[in-house]
Amino acid sequence: MQISLEKIRAARLRGDFSYEQPYHQAEYTLYPQIEMPAEETALYLSELIEKYCIIKIKDGAWVQRSLADHKNRVTSLLRIIGDKPINSVTRQDMRSFRDTLQKLPPRWREHLDKSGLSIDDFIEKHKNKTQLSIKSVNVTVEAISGMFTWAMRENLIERNSAQGLGIKDTQQDIEKRLPLSDDDIKLVFFNGDYKPGAFNNPAYYWVPLIALYTGMRLEEICQLHCEDIYEESGIFLIDIREESTDGLCDKILKTKNAKRKIPIHDELIKYGLISYRDDAIKNHQLRLFSSLKKTEKSPKYGKQVGKDFGLLLKEKRITDGKSFHSLRHSFSNFFKVRNMHTDMFRQVFGHEIQNLAGRQYGDKFSIKQIYEELISKISFDK
């Protein structure tokens, strides 16, 4: 048809109109009437979220244990703008959503559910309280943008209204990390009152001490099994892993690099950590801190330990946003100021080894190397 049309146009330019006459005189038949399919029912935001979460788990992109965190982020949009057809979610909706997040306090979902207030009334009630960090806002917006990008690939929506709405964070990353100072550490651990008898739960005593001397994450310590502490090459170590031979499969690692072995500092042994483990085994305990429990609302063992340590810091008048996680930053800072942020440190800290050859060739540093070059050098002014 296009070729014939061009031939007709060329003939007209020559003044020849005879070429098109057969087309005018040709018989034609009406196009058959095609029954158009009924308009599809609009997909609502709540339905998209359910579909998205199911597919993410099915495809292996998420694991079941992280589903609640992922779902909470994307469900934030539903809770703030309401349930509406996904193709009617506008750019203005997303800007309004992002701006609303910036007015909300930490753990707002939990508090909002308990309050029974509308989102506007809830914001008004908490307007003078600490608000979500820029990082938290960006993580939520990016999670929703990821969901919309997936929906576009699945031909469920035509555009991603949340793309590129992150807020520029002018605070340097290093400023966000708040380690405990040497004075803080001395005040908390070495002022004479940090003793097992001062705590109503042994985990509240041991977990911060282990973090101080190993740099381990809170949950890594709280989920330890008794079999994860053992002797190798004459050195006691902590084996951070998801695997277990005791039949209890409840450990979770944050990243693939979190799987590692850390030698136990001599001071922890002097404090009685090995004896504590031995007593736990005699009492037929599989987990090192069996008193710590997971619940549906608190799916991590370490939540209460973190809270208790936070209260201890307040008692010592150590504030400025410092928390249990500050112990991990203190561990890192100890080696940083000594120019010891090496591949060996990264192996102990659970971060990726930067040197390519170190990652792909050869073995990891041995326990003896780590102990002699790193762990044994940790000391505090008591």
State pLDDT tens for residues 267-305.
999 999 999 999 999 999 999 999 999 887 777 899 999
Domain around 161: 45-168
* Domain-terminating residue out of 139, 168, 197: 168
Query: pLDDT confidence of 357, banded at 50, 70, 90?
Result: very low
Residues 347, 246 within the same domain: yes
Pick 23 or 180 by higher pLDDT: 180
* Domain-terminating residue out of 141, 168, 195: 168
Residue 16 CB contacts under 8 Å (≥ 6 apart), including other chains? none
Residues 163, 189 within the same domain: no
User: According to the model, what pLDDT value does residue 32 have?
Assistant: 63
Residue 21 lies in a domain: no
User: According to the model, what pLDDT value does residue 130 have?
Assistant: 78
Residue 44 has pLDDT above 90, yes or no: yes
Q: What are the backbone angles phi and psi of residue 44, rounded to the nearest 5°?
A: -90, 160
Residues 207, 147 within the same domain: no
Residue 327 lies in a domain: yes
Residues 127, 268 within the same domain: no
Residue 72 lies in a domain: yes
142-165 average pLDDT score: 93
* Domain-terminating residue out of 168, 203, 231: 168
Residue 248 CB contacts under 8 Å (≥ 6 apart), including other chains? 225, 286, 287
pLDDT tens per residue across span 298-324: 778 999 999 999 999 999 999 878 999
Residue 71 lies in a domain: yes
Residue 221 has pLDDT above 70, yes or no: yes
Question: Is 252:65 a contact under the CB 8 Å cutoff?
Answer: yes
Residue 1 lies in a domain: no
Residues 191, 150 within the same domain: no
| pTM attached to this predicted model | 0.69
User: According to the model, what pLDDT value does residue 173 have?
Assistant: 53
Count how many domains the chain has.
Answer: 2
User: According to the model, what pLDDT value does residue 381 have?
Assistant: 79
Query: pLDDT confidence of 367, banded at 50, 70, 90?
Result: very high
User: According to the model, what pLDDT value does residue 361 have?
Assistant: 47
User: According to the model, what pLDDT value does residue 276 have?
Assistant: 97
Residue 32 lies in a domain: no
Residue 136 lies in a domain: yes
Residues 192, 341 within the same domain: yes
User: According to the model, what pLDDT value does residue 115 have?
Assistant: 87
Residues 234, 259 within the same domain: yes
Residues 153, 263 within the same domain: no
CATH number of the domain within which 330 lies: 1.10.443.10
Distance of alpha carbon 382 from its chain centroid, rounded? Answer: 35
6-14 average pLDDT score: 86
Residue 33 has pLDDT above 70, yes or no: no
Residues 152, 273 within the same domain: no
361-381 average pLDDT score: 86
345-364 average pLDDT score: 69
Residues 242, 283 within the same domain: yes
Residue 25 has pLDDT above 70, yes or no: no
Residues 344, 196 within the same domain: yes
Least confidently predicted of 203-217, 237-251, 358-372: 358-372
Query: pLDDT confidence of 79, banded at 50, 70, 90?
Result: very high
Residue 159 lies in a domain: yes
Tell me what the pLDDT averaged over the chain comes to. Answer: 88
Residues 144, 81 within the same domain: yes
Half-sphere exposure of 293 (CA within 13 A, CB side): 4
